Amino acid sequence: MTPKQVELVETSFKAFVPVAYQTTEDFYESLFRVSPHLRGLFPKDMQGLRKKLVETLTYVVNGLRYPDALLPVVRDLGRRHKGFRVEPGYYALVSAALIESMERAMGTAFGPEVKQAWKACITFLATEMITAGEAA
Ligand code: HEM
């Protein structure tokens, strides 16, 4: 991510926070609509996971300027995902669903530059998580 992208993610996240938990419902719904084969990996009741996802995104956004502290946490998460039977190819599906649901939630506040910055952020996360999971 470029420094400008870090700034765009940080700023846009402030506007996203109030709608974040609600947006995770739309995110998982659209993920399971597009990729129904992924539903079975997840628990029946998604409320706890929705909360954890928002907490983790908050942690990540707050940590973008401190990669030394952030990376071990992201890599741990990647290793846990391997244990959840998540395969590398699933990350593109999850990333696309997440970006699209954020775009629906934020409307005009999610312009092309902001969208690109979030794509870079999610790609960074996914790459680190996959690499750590594969090495585990
Ligand atoms: C884009 C990066 C991702 C982030 C930030 C993320 C975040 C999280 C978090 C915070 C948890 C809670 C569990 C824990 O902390 O150990 C979790 C669990 C889980 N995630 Fe992800 N995740 C990502 C990608 C994926 C992908 C690609 C899949 C594939 C479908 C996936 C499927 C799951 C499953 C199945 C669980 C466990 C649910 C359970 O049994 O409790 N995640 N994820």
Q: Which two tokens stand for residue 54?
A: 């928002």
Confidence check: pLDDT of 136 > 90: no
Whole-angstrom Cα distance, residue 13 to residue 110?
10
Distance (Å, rounded) from C-alpha 128 to C-alpha 18?
A: 28
User: pLDDT tens across 74-132, in order?
Assistant: 999 999 999 999 999 999 999 999 999 999 999 999 999 999 999 999 999 999 999 99
CB atoms within 10 A of CB 122: 21
Write out residues with Cβ below 6 Å of ligand 1: 38, 41-43, 49, 52-53, 56, 77, 80-81, 84, 86, 90-91, 94-95, 122, 125-126, 129
Q: Look at the block and give the residue holding tokens 């599906």.
A: 93
CA distance 17 to 22: 10
Number of domains present in the structure of the chain: 1
Contact 15, 109 (CB under 8 A): yes
Structural domain for 110, as ranges: 3-135
Domain containing residue 15: CATH number: 1.10.490.10
pLDDT (tens digit per residue) in 46-79: 999 999 999 999 999 999 999 999 999 999 999 9
Task: Compute the distance from residue 81 Cα to the ligand 1 centre, in Å.
Answer: 6
Spatial neighbors of 129 by CB under 8 A, at least 6 apart, are 74, 75, 77, 78, 81, 91
